[in-house]
Chain A
Amino acid sequence: MNAEHKSLERKNPFTPEPARIVRTYPLTDDVKFFQVRLVDMDKALLFKYRPGQFAMISVLGTGEAPFCISSTPSRPGLLEFCIRKAGTVTGALFKLKENSLIGLRGPYGNGFPVDDMKNKDIIIVLGGLVVAPLRSVLLYCLDNRDQFGKVSVLYGAKRPAEMIFREEYFSLKERGDLECHLTVDQDDTGTWKENIGVVTTLFPRLKKVDPDATYSLVCGPPVMYKFVIKELLKLNIPKNQILMTLERRMKCGVGKCGHCAIDYIYTCLDGPVFTYWDVLHMRELI
């Protein structure tokens, strides 16, 4: 009966770490950018994560929700999130000003297998507003450019105003060490100089693809996956080298609450990154 105090001293995985919003500004009508730093500087610098992992963010008094980290671990200290206004927690987050206190815990989930991706060619396909996790891996590839083969980015948005980090992508086009192709479904500005059409219309622009040496990362609205995957399969990219991140309801992030269960796995532990092969052999994944 002497073990009784131990558990109370153990680290509580549910305790949010105090963090501050360093910067926040709107990216589109309903997507906002948040730059966040843990109040404890040591912890802020020691916060290690992999592209594709997520964190649980608490708004004091409103609740907690999962968000993919969209910054890269190669730039430690600050964490960035692109958050779409969807529920009560995001609603409350949107009202917070710079320097507001929030809670943060994580990182959770599997993230992208960046070690397996080393020396491989990378094709990143983005659609719509759900692009946060791939920004992390893209910045990671760029910061470690010599560790990867060819890097290509295909991004399709509905309208120019809905292309998140538009300026970042335009400047990518200037770089000589990657391919970046942008498209919008329709141009309501009259000033769009890039492609017009859905994201799959960009595929013919990809320079010669060596499928076995390629990892493709897809992120976007559920409807997009089907069409994009079809194109990737046409290129003969192996099913287990097509990666995607999936969204599920999450209440704990650590495999306890059950909310993110799919089939016999928990998205928060075994995801949110899955391969196309996972999608095929697991029910309910998409």
Chain B
Amino acid sequence: MRILKLKKADLYRFLEVIYKEADIWAPQKKGDKFVFDRVDDFSKIELQTTRTIIPPKKIMVPPMFNMFDFNEAGYKEDFSHISKKILFGIHPCDIHGLLTLDKLFIQEYPDPYYMGAREKTLILGLSCWPDEHCFCKSTRTNIIEEGYDLFFTDLDEFFLVWIGSSQGDDLVKLAPDKFDENLSDKDIQAYIRWQNDKEKAFKTEIDFVTMPDLMELKYKAPFWQEAGDACLACGSCSMVCPTCNCYNVADKTFLGGKPGKRIRTWDSCTLPEYSEVAGGENFREDKSDRLKLWYTHKLQAYVSKYGKPSCVGCGRCIATCPVGINVKTIARALEGEEVDAFWKKMSREVTK
């Protein structure tokens, strides 16, 4: 592993150089929130951000894209949404989010759309600082060992830059004079101090070790019904979650000379028609059944398959769900705590 030092002021110069290689996407401000967007103006790049509204999965699998053009002659793949990109400013949790999606999309039948975008995207990670919703320490996704080409740790006056791949190394070689191989003891001390302080900065903790068992033992607990009653079935939790992968497919028919299209769009298991089969039978008409599927997937299924939860602790569901159904409140409810969440109040109103 090579670790280099980059002066703060040299970051934009470095980005300018690599901008010639590909479009750069980075967190930028939108209202009081942040979004991953294409960079037109380097000064708009935000270095100290909390989570973006939508995770960078949108770059690997756009919310809506065409898989095939077709007509009477057959199906033609459409990869036109895939282009070379450099993602700068992606946090460890979101890199873990991509590693989690990799498992699903690349195993057994590799998804060429996902893989195409993944291979054309360089990942330039950036360190971050937890806010009240972050709990990546609990999911052990606060530390990143793979899945990036370069990783920048922001130590105020300078960055420590980890080189994680030969492509990352190629980028550094485009501006070799900006990077310093010699780290002083003081630099190393600064990093260790930062690391220790960050460990202590987390305000939310969740014990994921007990979750698979609790999902099983509390599968019939009454709080599921309460949460189900309050859930708006809006699907927002799935849109913002970096590890939600579900999608829907619909055909647009061809007319005249225009080809038909097979459109793939993000979907959510919280939506009513998610489990409906042809003929109208729905296996999960009840919202609580759909929430159970969501949480089985996050807290239990992945653990049994891959030894860790598919939640990466980004806190987006906490920041997003309008009625307060999220990994934290559900975990607390599973642990038997009386949670003070909006859905609890709602369900009380409903039953009054």
Contact = CB atoms under 8 A, between A and B. Distances in A.
A89 B253 CA distance: 13
Secondary structure type dominating chain B contacts: mixed
A16 interface: yes
A257 B244 CA distance: 10
| Contact-residue bracket for chain B | 35 or more
Nearest to A285: B283
Interface string B237-266: 000000001111111111000001010000
Secondary structure type dominating chain A contacts: loop
A256 B107 CA distance: 9
B75 A16 contact: yes
Contacts of A247: 277
B111 A256 contact: yes
A61 interface: yes
Given A3-B119, A16-B75, A103-B75, A86 B249 contact: no
Contact of B109 (A8, A13, A58): A13
Contacts of B289: 284
Given A10-B115, A248-B277, A254-B109, A63 B246 contact: no
A12 B249 contact: no
Contact of B254 (A61, A261, A264): A61
B146 interface: no
Interface string A122-152: 0000000000000000000000000000000
B72 A101 contact: yes
A47 B249 CA distance: 25
A11 B111 CA distance: 9
B10 to A, nearest CB: 23
B210 interface: no
Given A61-B251, A254-B109, 19 more contacts: A7-B112, A10-B115, A12-B77, A58-B75, A60-B70, A61-B260, A62-B251, A64-B249, A65-B278, A249-B276, A251-B248, A255-B108, A256-B109, A257-B247, A258-B267, A264-B296, A264-B304, A269-B108, A283-B219
20 contacts: A1-B167, A8-B79, A8-B112, A11-B112, A13-B111, A58-B75, A61-B251, A63-B250, A248-B275, A249-B274, A249-B276, A249-B277, A249-B278, A252-B249, A256-B111, A258-B245, A259-B274, A263-B301, A264-B297, A284-B283
